[in-house]
């Protein structure tokens, strides 16, 4: 989750003519035309890098032309299969027309939910369109694999990624004239759905992002992050939440969560039915949660070491004071797990006695050699572009982060919403996880640059002593104790084999690795009532592949397996500690103030000087946007003329409907 894109047009600023989007030849007409797409206001909503796509198509074409005989064989096979598909579609149509049963065979594998409308099967025109698209997509992606000429692995990954983006974008369901459900709805509503879609588009253009969820359906502290608790400590970077016990006796060793600071903590405390925090409290654990502040430009010089000292180290002292326990069981989630590993290594490098006992890593990276599709967004030119953007603003905006995660799952997070919002004219659904996904945070300049360069770009954490924090060399091999690590089977951000590597990096006495079903988020949020299954294996193994060979599949949720592991390492049961202490009395109710800032306060067009002016006298609870002047126009000014016709059309449509 820590990788960041430098997507052209994603910030509402002028595109910088360097980096990943300027690799192609400047005087190439195709490249020039594709590059202009990034200046379109729609690029804020659909952050596709069309120049990189055109480069990928050109590279594939050059590979094919280098072996014409092979290309001829592939084309012949493609034409044969297309002809067979065509004949089968029309043969089935003839059977239906004559009243005879169809000769169709059951499709193998999981059905493509994009083509769930019955017309894609019953109407021969749409059926042929679907089959042609799927066959062409298959061949295009297959060609990327089979024409691999042994080039750099990262370049091959980039080629496949951008071809997949092209294939996803070109699906016929994404276009009104080739989407039977959209056409049917337009006819049923007398065109009202098209007017509604235009209004949704105008609203998204003004906001500068694609709506994925009904934002009015949720409010942090009201129907999200509702587990009762108190903020018992606050500094310039974190609020520490202590949750109220619900059992008469609790385990003596408390839990301290370190969630990622690139998202809000409440993914771990969504609604009552899927809250990990609530589950653990009900199992008799004393739970503390770190809630990170959403940085603004005044925090541009915040260092990565500040995240350690003001984060886990400061929180640990408070937890010890309140619970009177000398031991703490820390839980590091994603980037929080990376920080936790660094903190453990930092403590081991000095004379400090570590308060941390049994450690849990949830989908966390320490070895960044294999990071999946996120590698597409990380190379020297893109990091330099990101750093130039951060120098101007003092931070990296949350929308750049959101664009990257959306592109990693473009069918689910981009195109499905394009269809729902614009083609069908519907409002986004009310879904708590998508609300959290849209409630992003910014990245402090210095800390984020240090993190990206030492992890994704240079992979320095696995090199003993290469990274130095506050004068101490970081060596993960000095991390001891017991570890519970969990990866997710379909994780495209932290591949499970990379999450497993903590088993070999740390010098632990025992590492219990669990593989959860599903992906990066859904795999972790797996309450017992909706358990998706998981795998475990006893013993220690040399490779992730060897571990998988011995792993046994279980039904239910990995939470239950983890709970048992924690219970064995959390001491005896005792009376719950008080909420707060004399030194750290409760400040405000959970979820606190830091988790409530950021949804509308992204001053992405501001320079750091302007944001500092706005920050003077600012309370820690809020980060308002900078003043908007002629020198600093609102970020949506560039799309005002584009939006206005849609607004007028929508108003006319609304008045017509009310008259009806």
* pLDDT higher than 70, residue 632: no
Instruction: Of 124-133, 598-607, 628-637, give the lowest mean pLDDT range.
Output: 628-637
Query: Residue 104's closest CA among 79, 82, 87?
Result: 87
Residues facing residue 588 across a β-bridge: 231
Neighbours of 427 (CB within 10 A): 15
Q: How far is CA 568 from the centre of its chain?
A: 33
* Interatomic CA distance for residues 472 and 488, integer angstroms: 32
**Could you identify the residue written with the tokens 């009243």?**
99
DSSP string, 161-185: HHHHHHHHHT-GGGSGGG-HHHHHH
* Interatomic CA distance for residues 370 and 385, integer angstroms: 23
* Interatomic CA distance for residues 570 and 135, integer angstroms: 55
**Over the stretch 150-168, which tens digit does the pLDDT of each residue have?**
767 888 989 999 999 999 9
Question: 334 catalytic, yes or no?
Answer: yes
Q: Select the more confidently predicted residue: 33 or 438.
A: 438
CB contact set of 204 (below 8 Å; sequence gap of 6+) = 45, 210, 211, 421
**Over the stretch 545-569, which tens digit does the pLDDT of each residue have?**
999 999 999 999 999 999 999 999 9
* pLDDT higher than 50, residue 455: yes
In this prediction, residue 155 carries a pLDDT of 87
**DSSP character for 78?**
H
Mean pLDDT, to the nearest integer, of 286-308?
A: 97
* pLDDT higher than 80, residue 38: no
C-alpha gyration radius of the chain: 26
In this prediction, residue 478 carries a pLDDT of 94
Total H helices, total E strands in the chain? 24, 17
* 8 A C-beta contact, residue 54 and residue 34: yes
* Interatomic CA distance for residues 176 and 423, integer angstroms: 6
Q: How far is CA 288 from the centre of its chain?
A: 24
**Phi, psi at residue 180, to the nearest 5°?**
-60, -35
**Could you identify the residue written with the tokens 């290469």?**
466
* 8 A C-beta contact, residue 337 and residue 422: no
**Over the stretch 311-360, which tens digit does the pLDDT of each residue have?**
999 999 999 999 999 999 999 999 999 999 999 999 999 978 899 999 99
119: confidence class by pLDDT, cuts 50, 70, 90: very high
Mean pLDDT, to the nearest integer, of 449-461?
A: 97
**DSSP character for 356?**
B
* Interatomic CA distance for residues 137 and 56, integer angstroms: 14
Euclidean distance between the first and the last CA atom of the chain, given in angstroms as a whole number = 49
Residue 448 is encoded by which pair of tokens?
A: 């984020």
* 8 A C-beta contact, residue 499 and residue 332: no
- Average pLDDT taken over every residue of the chain: 85
Query: Residue 360's closest CA among 550, 102, 565, 631?
Result: 565
Q: From residue 439, give the alpha-carbon distance in Å to each of 191, 311, 443, 524.
A: 33, 21, 14, 18
Residues facing residue 468 across a β-bridge: 473
List the alpha helices (DSSP H) in 283-334: 304-308, 314-323
**DSSP character for 215?**
G
**Over the stretch 188-200, which tens digit does the pLDDT of each residue have?**
999 999 999 999 9
In order of start, what are the domains of the chain with their CATH numbers? 20-185 (no CATH), 229-369+459-590 (3.40.50.1820)
* 8 A C-beta contact, residue 157 and residue 163: no
Q: Select the more confidently predicted residue: 297 or 659.
A: 297
657: confidence class by pLDDT, cuts 50, 70, 90: very low
* pLDDT higher than 70, residue 36: no
In this prediction, residue 23 carries a pLDDT of 46
Sign of CA dihedral 404, 410, 413, 414: positive
Contacts of 83-87 with C-beta under 8 Å, sequence gap 24+, read 85/128, 85/131, 85/132, 85/135, 86/128, 86/131
DSSP string, 434-464: HHHHHS---EEHHHHHHHHIIIIIT-GGGST
* 8 A C-beta contact, residue 498 and residue 336: no
**Over the stretch 198-223, which tens digit does the pLDDT of each residue have?**
999 999 999 888 999 998 999 999 99
In this prediction, residue 552 carries a pLDDT of 97
Residue 374 is encoded by which pair of tokens?
A: 């996120």
Instruction: Of 395-404, 412-421, 462-471, give the lowest mean pLDDT range.
Output: 395-404
In the set 240, 319, 334, 603, the catalytic residue is 334
648: confidence class by pLDDT, cuts 50, 70, 90: very low
**Phi, psi at residue 202, to the nearest 5°?**
-60, -40
Neighbours of 646 (CB within 10 A): 19
In this prediction, residue 599 carries a pLDDT of 54
* 8 A C-beta contact, residue 525 and residue 539: no
* 8 A C-beta contact, residue 554 and residue 531: no
Q: Select the more confidently predicted residue: 633 or 132.
A: 132
């Amino acid at each position: 989750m820590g990788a960041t894109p430098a997507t052209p047009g994603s910030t509402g600023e002028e595109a910088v003519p360097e980096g990943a989007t300027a690799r192609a030849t400047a005087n190439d007409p195709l490249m020039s035309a594709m590059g202009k797409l990034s200046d379109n206001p729609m690029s804020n909503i659909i952050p596709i890098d069309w120049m990189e796509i055109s480069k990928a198509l050109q590279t594939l074409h050059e590979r094919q032309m280098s072996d014409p005989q092979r290309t001829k064989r592939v084309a012949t096979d493609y034409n044969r299969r297309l002809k067979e598909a065509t004949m089968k579609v029309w043969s089935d149509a003839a059977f239906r027309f004559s009243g005879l049963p169809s000769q169709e065979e059951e499709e193998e594998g999981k059905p493509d939910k994009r083509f769930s409308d019955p017309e894609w099967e019953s109407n021969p025109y749409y059926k042929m369109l679907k089959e042609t698209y799927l066959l062409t997509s298959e061949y295009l992606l297959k060609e990327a694999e089979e024409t691999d000429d042994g080039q750099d692995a990262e370049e091959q990954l980039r080629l496949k990624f951008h071809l997949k983006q092209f294939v996803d974008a070109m699906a016929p369901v994404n276009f009104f004239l080739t989407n039977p459900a959209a056409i049917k709805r337009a006819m049923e509503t007398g065109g009202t759905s098209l007017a509604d879609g235009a209004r949704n588009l105008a609203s998204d253009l003004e906001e500068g992002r694609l709506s994925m969820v009904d934002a009015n359906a949720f409010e942090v502290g009201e129907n999200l992050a509702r587990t009762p608790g108190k903020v018992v400590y606050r500094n310039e970077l974190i609020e520490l939440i202590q949750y109220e016990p619900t059992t008469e006796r609790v385990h003596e060793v408390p839990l301290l969560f370190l969630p990622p600071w690139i998202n809000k903590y409440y993914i771990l405390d969504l609604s009552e039915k899927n809250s990990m925090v609530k589950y653990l409290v009900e199992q008799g654990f004393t739970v503390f949660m770190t809630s990170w502040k959403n940085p603004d430009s005044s925090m541009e010089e915040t260092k990565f070491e500040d995240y350690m000292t003001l984060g886990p180290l400061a929180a640990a002292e408070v937890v010890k004071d309140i619970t009177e326990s000398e031991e703490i069981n820390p839980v590091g989630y994603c980037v929080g797990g990376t920080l936790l590993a660094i903190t453990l290594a930092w403590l081991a490098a000095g004379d400090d006695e570590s308060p941390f006992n049994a450690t849990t890593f949830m989908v966390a990276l320490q070895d960044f050699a294999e990071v999946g599709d996120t590698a597409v967004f990380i190379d020297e030119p893109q990091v330099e572009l990101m750093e130039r953007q951060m120098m101007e603003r003092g931070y990296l905006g949350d929308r750049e982060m959101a664009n990257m995660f959306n592109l990693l799952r473009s069918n689910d997070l981009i195109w499905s919403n394009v269809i729902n919002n614009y083609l069908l004219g519907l409002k986004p659904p009310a879904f708590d996880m998508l609300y959290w996904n849209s409630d992003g945070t910014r990245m402090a300049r210095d800390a984020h640059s240090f993190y990206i360069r030492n992890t994704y770009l240079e992979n320095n954490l696995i090199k003993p002593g290469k990274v130095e924090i506050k004068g101490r060399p970081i060596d993960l091999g000095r991390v001891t104790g017991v570890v519970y690590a969990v990866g997710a089977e379909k994780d495209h951000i932290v591949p499970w084999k990379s999450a497993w590597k903590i088993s070999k990096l740390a010098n632990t006495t025992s590492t219990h690795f669990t593989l959860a079903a599903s992906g990066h988020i859904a795999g972790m949020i797996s309450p017992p009532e909706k358990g998706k299954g998981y795998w475990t294996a006893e013993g220690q193994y040399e490779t992730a592949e060897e571990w998988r060979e011995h792993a046994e599949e279980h039904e239910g949720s990995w939470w239950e397996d983890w709970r048992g592991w924690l219970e064995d390492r959390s001491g005896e049961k005792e009376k719950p500690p008080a909420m707060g202490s004399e030194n750290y009395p409760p400040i405000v109710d959970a979820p606190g103030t830091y988790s409530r800032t950021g949804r509308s306060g992204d001053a992405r067009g501001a320079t750091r000087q302007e944001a500092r002016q706005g920050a003077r006298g600012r309370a820690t609870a809020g980060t308002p946007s900078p003043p908007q002047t002629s020198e600093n126009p609102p970020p949506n000014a560039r799309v005002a003329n584009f939006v206005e016709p849609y607004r007028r059309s929508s108003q006319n449509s609304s008045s017509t409907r009310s008259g009806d």
